[in-house]
Amino acid sequence: MYRLTVTDPNDDTNGADGPVCTTVTDITVTYTGPIITCPADFTAATDAGSCSTFMNLIPAEINAACADEFTIRYWVTGATTIASMAAPETLSTVNATAFNVGVNTVHAIVGTLSGGVFTPLAPEVSCTYTANVIDREPPIAKCKDISVFLNSAGQASVTAAMVNGGSTDNCGVTAAFICPTIQGFTGIFAPGNWNFNPGINGTLDTNNAPNSLTLSGSNSGPSSTPGLFQPPPGVLTTLCINVPASGSITFTWNYQSFDSYSSANWDRFGYSVNGVFTQLTLNDGPLVQSGTNTVTLNSGDVFCFVQGSDNVDGVGVTISNMFIFESTQLPCNFTCANLGQNDVTLIVRDAFGNSSTCLANVTVVDAIPPTLVCPANITMNVSSNTVCTWTSGSLAPTTYTDNCTVPPVLTYSILNPDQTVANGTGAVNAYVFAKVHQWLLIHLLMQVVIFQFAPSQ
């Protein structure tokens, strides 16, 4: 508001003489500052081969009667930092900087420009909008073929790193894995690898493994039996395992309580991780319930299925064939049954869910020879006084052990002093040995000396 005062002295200046005349008028001036409007939020993809992008931002607009008297400056926060509120920049400067993948908040502020110096309006006139840069470019999966050798137990393992031939991604590879899934209660999750605690008299039924397991809670009699009832959480029947690698467990459960109180409140089912229980059944739910759950776990965690029971009337839960363990850390395991070439799929993934695959050839080799145990050396005389030969009866067998169960082929060779050879396979029972005045040797494949014979005198 402004006050205007007009005074006329009436001193004959205007041809009139009289008393002084003063007029006061209040004038109200309403100031409407500029209004700034930002464009709508938008999404852009990263440039090919890059984890960022350059883009031409749509400018904010000034709505004002004297819009030309104002200017707009910008700065960016979030995934990318460009300029600042204290030192904003022109839009062209912002556009000349790459925007990183992620959510970038663009700030626009109105001010005046004098002598090249930008001064924001007070009070502040500003707006914001977001530029969400996303990565849609899949990794480039690159495999390499390898050979692995079975150990003394006839086993070998292959990790993703062993067949990864240098996979790349514009934003970086975050996970590479092979054989990532175990479905059903098999392998490291076979029933024998779990620790079962029956509580009082709970049971574990593995007859349908690997498809499913059934865990039944403790049941010492009907509800009319005095002294048996245990209030929640009741008696705990548990099935636990040490998680071998970081990953997730997904399982479907089918629960049924036979509680005479017709309430699942007395028989509660769930799972625990490192002793922290998560209940899955609803206390006020029906006696028959089911569901599917996924639990994220770290290597070394203790994961348990937990069936609580009031110890009367019975309760059970079946964990079905939807039991799945997924992990980027699991290896592919090979045995003697996999000797030779095996195709393995390498999955490469980035942080934004993009993935690609390649095929590696893994050759499984058994390079450990059988271990042969030969019988002791023997000395034989000729068969009779009238012949100069000896015919074997039954020589002691050669025994062996091997890391694979496939029996090795035993090949026998008999050498005389002239180095002529009689060969055969199987048991050495009927070879004829000539009477000589030197040592005779019987050779086995991969074995230098099997038997040694002394000549008769």
Q: What is the DSSP string of 18-49?
A: -S-EEEEEEE-------EEEPPPPEEEEPPTT
pLDDT attached to residue 421: 42
pLDDT attached to residue 322: 58
Give yes or no for a contact between 103 and 78, defined as CB atoms under 8 angstroms apart: yes
Residue with tokens 């739910």: 285
pLDDT attached to residue 391: 60
CATH of domain 146-180+329-365: 2.60.40
> How do residues 378-436 score in pLDDT, each as one tens digit?
776 666 666 666 665 566 777 778 888 666 666 666 655 444 444 444 333 333 333 33
Residue 46 has pLDDT above 90, yes or no: yes
Residue 296 has pLDDT above 60, yes or no: yes
Give yes or no for a contact between 320 and 170, defined as CB atoms under 8 angstroms apart: no
> How do residues 339-387 score in pLDDT, each as one tens digit?
999 988 888 888 887 888 899 999 999 998 888 888 777 776 666 666 6
Residue 270 has pLDDT above 90, yes or no: yes
Residue 164: count other Cβ atoms within 10 Å of its Cβ. Answer: 20
pLDDT attached to residue 319: 77
Pick the CATH number of 35-134 from 3.40.50, 3.30.450, 2.60.40, 3.30.43: 2.60.40
pLDDT attached to residue 425: 41
CATH of domain 183-326: 2.60.120
Q: Which two tokens stand for residue 16?
A: 């009139």
Report the C-alpha gap between 440 and 379 in whole angstroms.
10
Quote the pTM value.
Answer: 0.54
Give yes or no for a contact between 444 and 412, defined as CB atoms under 8 angstroms apart: yes
User: What value does the mean pLDDT of the chain take?
Assistant: 80
Determine what percent of the chain is predicted with pLDDT higher than 70.
Answer: 77
